[in-house]
Amino acid sequence: MTWLTPAIAGIAAAIAVPALVILYFLKLRRRDVEISTTLLWKKTIQDIQANAPFQRLRKNILLLLQLIVLAGVLVALGQPQMHAEASEGQKRVILIDRSASMEATDGDPTKPGSVDRLAKAKQAAEQLVDSLREPSVIGTGPVDEAMVIAFDTTAEVRQQFTSDKAQLKAAIDAIEPSDAPSSLVEAMRLARAHLPDRILNDKTTGDTIKLEGVKSGGAQIHLYSDGRLPDAEEAITGAEDAVTFVQVGQTDAANAAITAMRAERAFDSPVQVSLYVGLQNTDHTPQQVELELLINDIVTRVKTVTIPAATPPVGSNAENAGAPPQGEEAQPDESQPSPGKTLADFLPWTPGVAGVTFEFDQTEGGIFAAQITPTSPERDLLRVDNRAWMVVPPARQLAVALVSPGNLFLITAFEGLPLSKLVQFTPEQYQAAAASGEMSQFDVVVFDGWLPTIDGHPGLPPGRYLVLGDLPWPLGIEAGAEPKPAQILDWRRDHPLMRLLLLDNLVIAKLPKVVVPEGSGATVLAETDQGPAILEWSDAQTRAIIVPFNVLESTWPFDVSFVVFMGGAVNDLGQEGGIFGESAGGLKPGSVLTDRLPIGAADARLQLPGSSDRVSLQPSSDGRIAYGPIRKAGLYAATWTGQAAAGDSKEGGRVSRTYAANLLDPAESDVAAAPMLRLSGQAITPEKADEAKAMFRLWPWCILAALLVLMLEWYIYNRKVHI
């Protein structure tokens, strides 16, 4: 128990208690009274006090009651409060996780009155706000302040530091759920940035020095989350900060989800479509789901899929006890003592996975959707990952431009591909064609050993490109480094382009030392003992597959994987339907939707999923639009007046283009609450949101008790003086 104003209570007690006791030491000085009846004499001698100024303190029920009343008032002046689980401090930062997993409803989501995790987190945060220290009854004493930050992939300050509880509660109530994954690093960075600067006192001069950029320590950080924070180890806190992790959700919560979706057309026959759907199960027993494939909202195929059960961590008690039989729950053996928990018991289980491939013919494009319906809804606590969408362009053969000084291997490889058009340009011819707008008719441009110059750097204009033997800016070659022989060590087998390749025998005679700046947008697809050998690079307008070495100085042209790579790269780049910077699988909640509309597009609007709301867009001079970060999964539709590009639809004088946003995040779909949070290398034991308590203020109850005793004292006094 702590006291907010103990000094005030002590001063009042030093004055009031002696004053009350002295009153009972005093005697009344009586005058002599002559009476004629013994009855009146009896009434008079009831006062047995003498005329001396003081008397021996006698037992008196009134004095005891009055002392109790006075003690209650004095204790209330000290403002005591009970300290339970919630910590106290002058500056409190309330971090509320609003990511997709916080939409899970623990228990049975079909029961009435069930609330999701975000609602529970907000309720617990408001209890903390109620416990913040306020000014004392006489307007003095320290006052707690708090700020509210909501976070998913990004973080947002919902309320700056304030002691106004109404404002804090309003900010908490206004937090809406998001379908984006969670990231704690940005939230912690934002919280640290809003702490006050550290102030030092110069003992020599008595001056105060404010250290700009150096934040004061001792902040109390209250994190309300289910603990599904993949970057928690990277989050930075101050040495003097105290972090309280309030856990929301159950550690055994289960979920079935769609975690991957990919569609591609056969290169030699674009009519043939292959659509892959990846499934995940975090339940400790297998789950059976009905998987439906919809094309333009029409169910075309249905499959029943059994997703395997999740497996426990190696060395955990669950693994040692053995997995339960197929389709049955594990029953505890009460005859055996429960062994102590090991570190492995705090590690997450490995979800069970399954994959289904649909193969069919589809000439037209459209919106493909996959959705699952679990046979046990109570074991599927998250709904946002039960459906995924994909915008698939119509079947077409691609037009390719090859900009090369003359490469027989490249020309032979592309001539063997089923392309609608293949045109070879010299660098000079390409520059003339680009100036006249002729290059707009090509789906993919291949640069062989040469790149155009943009703003003084070798670069790429908006479009889709396969770059061989060169690097576009901001990528580069390490200064002073000489090309060295290299051999492929590993490659991204989960990438649509790389999964069909066998590169073990590829030997490179001269590989430059590639420098990939942080935030450049480049992803390494193949790695050698000397650095990256194949990269993927993209921004809002451009996407490129980059091979930085000269293929003629390698064994690649003599391997069948060379032709497979060229065909796959052109197909991967060209079958995107005009959406730059994003794969056909769609956007992710938390990212920014960017695209380029045709030049001259006017009155652009964006239709949000699941509502009739439309957001106005302002295209730039080159048609670029941006919206975000997007918060919800679903279908977004941009509409405008003006020209239409390939893949766009036109109706009623307006052109429309559809974008798909999907969660597709295995980590976020694992909704089992983390039994422990590791933050900056430190293990933090969680507190349950349903059990967490804040400061319980005792002084109002002291006032109430004092009033009750005062009423009892008044009753006894009246009984005593009653004749």
* pLDDT-based confidence at residue 640 (cuts at 50, 70, 90): very high
* pLDDT-based confidence at residue 465 (cuts at 50, 70, 90): very high
Task: Answer yes or no: is pLDDT of 235 > 80.
Answer: yes
* pLDDT-based confidence at residue 233 (cuts at 50, 70, 90): confident
Query: Could you tell me which residues come within 8 angstroms of residue 39 by beta carbon, excluding any fewer than 6 positions away?
Result: none
Tokens 């007046």, residue located: 641
3-state helix, strand, coil in the chain (%, to 5): 25, 30, 45
In contact, 572 and 498? CB cutoff 8 Å: no
In contact, 629 and 154? CB cutoff 8 Å: yes
pLDDT at 110: 62
pLDDT at 152: 93
Helix (H) or strand (E) holding 615: strand 614-617
586: left (phi over 0), alpha (psi -120 to 50) or beta: left
Task: Answer yes or no: is pLDDT of 218 > 90.
Answer: no
In contact, 418 and 563? CB cutoff 8 Å: no
Mean pLDDT of 230-252: 84
Task: Answer yes or no: is pLDDT of 213 > 70.
Answer: no
Higher pLDDT, 622 or 97: 97
- Of 69-83, 147-161, 578-592, the one with minimum mean pLDDT is 578-592
* pLDDT-based confidence at residue 511 (cuts at 50, 70, 90): very high
pLDDT at 169: 94
What percent of the chain clears pLDDT 90, i.e. is strictly above it? 31
CA 33 to centroid of chain Cα atoms: 89
* pLDDT-based confidence at residue 326 (cuts at 50, 70, 90): very low
407-413+429-574 is classed in which CATH architecture? 3-Layer(aba) Sandwich (3.40)
Mean pLDDT of 127-139: 73
Task: Answer yes or no: is pLDDT of 594 > 60.
Answer: yes
* pLDDT-based confidence at residue 199 (cuts at 50, 70, 90): low
pLDDT at 198: 60
Token pair belonging to 528: 């050698």
Distance in angstroms between the alpha carbons of the first and the last residue of the chain = 47
pLDDT at 336: 41
Distance CA 554, CA 556 (A): 5
Residues in a beta bridge with 477 = 514
Mean pLDDT of 304-314: 90
CA 369 to centroid of chain Cα atoms: 25
C-alpha distances (whole Å) from 409 to each of 32, 98, 174, 505, 681 are 136, 53, 61, 18, 53
Mean pLDDT of 178-195: 89
> Considering the entire predicted model, what is its pTM?
0.67
Q: Phi/psi of residue 712, each to 5°?
A: -65, -40
Task: Answer yes or no: is pLDDT of 330 > 60.
Answer: no
In contact, 223 and 244? CB cutoff 8 Å: yes
pLDDT at 393: 80
Mean pLDDT of 496-516: 87
CA torsion angle for 444, 445, 448, 450 (degrees, to 10)? -150
Token pair belonging to 506: 């590829």
Q: Phi/psi of residue 210, each to 5°?
A: -95, 120
Q: Phi/psi of residue 147, each to 5°?
A: -130, 155
pLDDT at 16: 64
pLDDT at 49: 43
CA torsion angle for 354, 360, 365, 366 (degrees, to 10)? -50
Tens digit of pLDDT for each residue in 12-58? 667 666 765 665 555 555 556 565 555 555 555 555 444 445 455 55
Token pair belonging to 287: 């789950």
- Of 39-48, 194-203, 243-252, 385-394, the one with minimum mean pLDDT is 39-48
* pLDDT-based confidence at residue 168 (cuts at 50, 70, 90): very high
Task: Answer yes or no: is pLDDT of 502 > 90.
Answer: no
Tens digit of pLDDT for each residue in 141-159? 578 889 999 999 999 999 9
Task: Answer yes or no: is pLDDT of 130 > 70.
Answer: yes
Mean pLDDT of 639-647: 84
Distance CA 594, CA 214 (A): 37
* pLDDT-based confidence at residue 264 (cuts at 50, 70, 90): confident
Neighbours of 75 (CB within 10 A): 20
Q: What angle do CA 417, 421, 426 make, to 5 degrees?
A: 100
680: left (phi over 0), alpha (psi -120 to 50) or beta: left
91-252+671-694 is classed in which CATH architecture? 3-Layer(aba) Sandwich (3.40)
Distance CA 428, CA 441 (A): 18
Classify 707 as helix, strand or coil. helix
CA torsion angle for 424, 427, 433, 439 (degrees, to 10)? 60
User: Which amino acid, one-letter code, is at 290?
Assistant: E
327: left (phi over 0), alpha (psi -120 to 50) or beta: left
User: Which amino acid, one-letter code, is at 77?
Assistant: L
What percent of the chain clears pLDDT 70, i.e. is strictly above it? 71
* pLDDT-based confidence at residue 118 (cuts at 50, 70, 90): very high
Distance CA 252, CA 324 (A): 15
C-alpha distances (whole Å) from 297 to each of 300, 301, 372, 421 are 9, 12, 14, 34
SS (H, E, C) 340-354: CCCHHHHCCCECEEE
pLDDT at 496: 74
Distance CA 404, CA 411 (A): 9
pLDDT at 368: 92
Instruction: Give the residue from 696, 673, 681, 697 showing the smallest Cα distance to 224.
Output: 673
pLDDT at 332: 43
| Separate counts of helices (H) and strands (E) for the chain | 12, 40
- Of 96-110, 253-267, 684-698, the one with minimum mean pLDDT is 684-698
In contact, 276 and 260? CB cutoff 8 Å: yes
Instruction: Give the residue from 111, 381, 112 showing the smallest Cα distance to 250.
Output: 381
Higher pLDDT, 538 or 448: 448
Q: In what order do the strands lie in the sheet with 2-3?
A: 2-3, 80-82, 696-697
State the burial class of residue 602 (Cβ atoms within 10 Å of its Cβ: 0-12, 13-18, 19+). Answer: exposed
Mean pLDDT of 326-354: 60
Mean pLDDT of the chain: 79
In contact, 671 and 64? CB cutoff 8 Å: no
SS (H, E, C) 198-255: EEEECCCCCCEEEEEEEECCCCEEEEEECCCCCCHHHCCCCCCCEEEEEECCCCCCCC
Tens digit of pLDDT for each residue in 657-693? 999 999 999 999 999 988 888 887 778 888 876 655 5
Mean pLDDT of 250-266: 88
Q: DSSP string spanning 308-368?
A: PPPBPPTTSHHHHH-PPPTT-PPPP-TTSPPPPP-GGGGSPPBPEEEEEEEEEE--S-EEE
pLDDT at 285: 92
Token pair belonging to 665: 């995040």
In contact, 277 and 258? CB cutoff 8 Å: yes
Distance CA 531, CA 478 (A): 11
Task: Answer yes or no: is pLDDT of 91 > 50.
Answer: yes
Mean pLDDT of 697-720: 60
Strands 654-661 and 634-641: antiparallel
User: Which amino acid, one-letter code, is at 240?
Assistant: E
Residues in a beta bridge with 402 = 424, 446
Token pair belonging to 361: 């013919």
State the burial class of residue 647 (Cβ atoms within 10 Å of its Cβ: 0-12, 13-18, 19+). Answer: middle
In contact, 417 and 267? CB cutoff 8 Å: yes
* pLDDT-based confidence at residue 3 (cuts at 50, 70, 90): low
pLDDT at 655: 92
